[in-house]
Amino acid sequence: MRGLYAIYRKEMSHYFVSPVAYAVVPIFLILSAVFFNMYLADGIKASFEASMEAMQGGAAIPFDVPSAVMGAFLSLVGTILLFLTPLLTMGVYSEERKRGTMELLLTSPITDWQIVLGKFFASLSLFIIMILPTVLYVVYMFAHSEPVPPWRLIAGGYLGVLLLGVTLLAIGSFLSALTENQIVAGVLVLGISLLLWVVGFFAGTGNGVIAQSLQYLALLQHYNPFVRGVIDTTGLIFFASWIFFAIFLTMRAVDSMRWRRA
Partner 1 sequence: MIEVQDLTKSFGDKTAVDHISFSVNKGEILGFLGPNGAGKTTTMRVLTGYLPATTGTAKIAGFDVFDDSMEVRRRIGYLPENPPLYFDMTVSSYLDFVARIKNVPAEKRAARVTAALEMAKITDKRDELIKRLSRGYKQRVGLAQAIVHDPDVIILDEPTVGLDPKQIIEVRNLIKGLAGSHTIILSTHILPEVSMTCDRVVIINRGKIVAVDTPENLTLQLKGGARIRVEVQAPEKSLRDALAQISGVRKVEINSLGSAGRLVATVEANQGQDLRSQIAARVVGQGWALYELRGINLSLEEIFLQLTTEDAAQNPAEKAEGN
The rounded distance, in Å, linking the Cα atoms of 59 and 39 is: 25
The amino acid present at 101, given as its one-letter code, is: T
Task: Name the residue nearer to partner 1 (CB basis): 152 or 258.
Answer: 258
Rounded CA separation 28/255 (Å): 34
Q: List interacting residues with partner 1 (CB under 8 A).
A: 2-3, 5-7, 9-10, 13-14, 17-18, 99-111, 258-259, 261-262
At 91 the three-state DSSP class reads coil
Comparison of 61 and 262: residue with beta carbon closer to partner 1:
262
Enumerate residues 6+ apart whose C-beta is below 8 A from 76.
32, 35, 39
Shortest Cβ 184–partner 1 spacing (Å):
20
Q: Cα–Cα distances in Å, from 51 out to 43, 202, 210?
A: 12, 39, 46
Nearer to partner 1, 3 or 225 (CB): 3
Nearest to partner 1 of 108, 212 (CB atom): 108
C-beta of 247: minimal distance to partner 1 in Å? Answer: 20
Q: Output the smallest distance, CB 38 to partner 1, in A.
A: 37
CA distance 76 to 31: 10
For residue 115, the minimal CB distance to partner 1 (Å) is 9
Nearer to partner 1, 57 or 109 (CB): 109
Minimum Å distance from CB 210 to partner 1?
40
Residues 26, 140 contacting (CB under 8 angstroms): no
What is the Cα–Cα distance from 223 to 206, expressed in whole angstroms? 20
Taking the C-alpha atoms of residue 78 and residue 32, their distance in angstroms, rounded to an integer, is 10
Q: SS3 helix, strand, coil % of the chain, rounded to 5?
A: 80, 0, 20
Closer by beta carbon to partner 1, 9 or else 152: 9
Shortest Å distance, C-beta 252 to partner 1: 15
